[in-house]
Amino acid sequence: MLKNIAIIGGGIAGLAFAVYYKKLGGRADIYERSPISGREGLGFIMLENGLKAMSSLGLLTNVSQAGYPLESCSILDSNENILINETLIGSYGITRKAFVEVLLVQIPPQWLHFDHSFSHFIFDDEGYAQTAIFDNKQTISADLFLGCDGGNSAVRAQIKPNAVRSEIKVQELVSIVENPLLVTAMDHKFTKYKCLNGGLAAGVVPASKNSLVWFIQFDVNKYDLADSSVQGKIDFANNALHHWPSTIQQLIKCTDFSRSHIAKSSYLEPLERYHKNNVVLLGDAAHALLPFTSQGVNAAIEDAIELAKILFKSKKGFLNVALEHYSVMRKPILEQFLRQGIALQEEFLLPHKANQKIPFAF
């Protein structure tokens, strides 16, 4: 077991690794750029594989209590005609804040180092990272560095400078609403309304007893959210969805658009491997997926557990072998999620056809 591990990025992948490595008897220090780790996000859907991973962390009950059970997925057109209705097994909506809190309380405070925005590594003559330099002028040394700093990873830019992101075909305007009555009305369903001509949808995810995360998904070649001001977001939502069902109209009226987030959807072209010498990537830093899969968080937790297991079992002097094994184990699964995400995006962009799938990758 390695004794000196530095995690750069205190998002879900980094926190999950620290929790599981602690469970195995190890320690990993986390260096996060934000004053508080990841609590400013909105929410997501936990799928069966993610909940199985949380069970491995010993936190299945915790996340189930913090989230909201989703029993089915309904896809409707903008006139509320049902297009697809499928049962969901082992799925929860949850706010990012609640999920991060579930992980954070398991980590000793002395392992957490906030206000550390990563700048660059200093490498030795053989290409191993000796020191991580942060914008606050602090430096750290470690035997292994974990890049868990998201889709626009600064760590990845250091070790995989030629990594390529796809073009942006779809954007999302994502919001959160506190409304217990609307949560009850959603009846434990993830509901998605879509334009039959393709390229526009609105989804609603109950994320707790009091809150819903909802999003407008749109083809950037058909719809333009050029004005990112609060009023610009309101105008975009009203113009794009003015004739859509009453649930959507109610959500628009009770949304605080100052808290809404514009997400530009793109994926990372597959990397040959997820590491270089003693720096390894997890989560979106390693394999940013399209949001249609709902696998970003779920896959990140699986990454963390798999890597922690491999490192725990690895022999001294065999770090590269261990990290190569991590890539070999995770790449086929993640590349399958990527292919599914690309297919789901293409379905979204085109006019609706019968026999389309619910928007998840399994």
Three-state secondary structure along the chain? Answer: CCCCEEEECCCHHHHHHHHHHHHHCCCCEEECCCCCCCCCCCEEEECHHHHHHHHHCCCHHHHHHHCEEEEEEEEEECCCCEEEEEEEEEEEEEEHHHHHHHHHCCCCHHHEECCCCEEEEEECCCCCEEEEEECCCCEEECCEEEECCCCCCHHHHHHCCCCCECCCCEEEEEEEEECHHHHHHCCCEEEEEECCCCCEEEEEEECCCCEEEEEEEEECCCCCCCCCCHHHHHHHHHHHHCCCCHHHHHHHHHCCHHHCEEEEECCECCCCCCEECCEEECCHHHHCCCHHHCCHHHHHHHHHHHHHHHHHHCCCCCHHHHHHHHHHHHHHHHHHHHHHHHHHHHHHHCCCCCCCCCCCCC
Residue 234 token pair: 């309101």
Q: What is the CATH number of domain 5-48+96-166+267-349?
A: 3.50.50.60
Write the Ramachandran bin of 38: left for phi over 0, alpha for psi from -120 to 50, otherwise beta: left
Residue 157 token pair: 């830019």
pLDDT at position 31, please?
Answer: 97
Contact indicator for 19, 103 with CB cutoff of 8 Å: yes
Collect the ranges in the chain with pLDDT lower than 70. Answer: 36-41
pLDDT at position 361, please?
Answer: 81
Contacts of 315 (CB under 8 A, 6+ apart): none
pLDDT at position 190, please?
Answer: 97
Contact indicator for 99, 111 with CB cutoff of 8 Å: no
In the chain, what are the domain boundaries? Answer: 5-48+96-166+267-349
Task: Tell me the C-alpha distance between 323 and 89, whole Å.
Answer: 33
pLDDT at position 37, please?
Answer: 59
Give Cα separations from 226 to 91, 167, 221, 263, 348 (angstroms): 35, 18, 12, 13, 21
How many C-beta neighbours within 10 Å does residue 26 have? 17
Give Cα separations from 233 to 200, 237, 258 (angstroms): 15, 6, 9
pLDDT at position 161, please?
Answer: 97
User: The whole model's pTM is what?
Assistant: 0.96
Question: What digits encode the pLDDT tens for the residues 264-303?
Answer: 999 999 999 999 999 999 999 999 999 999 999 999 999 9
The burial of 185, by beta-carbon neighbours within 10 Å (0-12 exposed, 13-18 middle, 19 or more buried), is given as middle
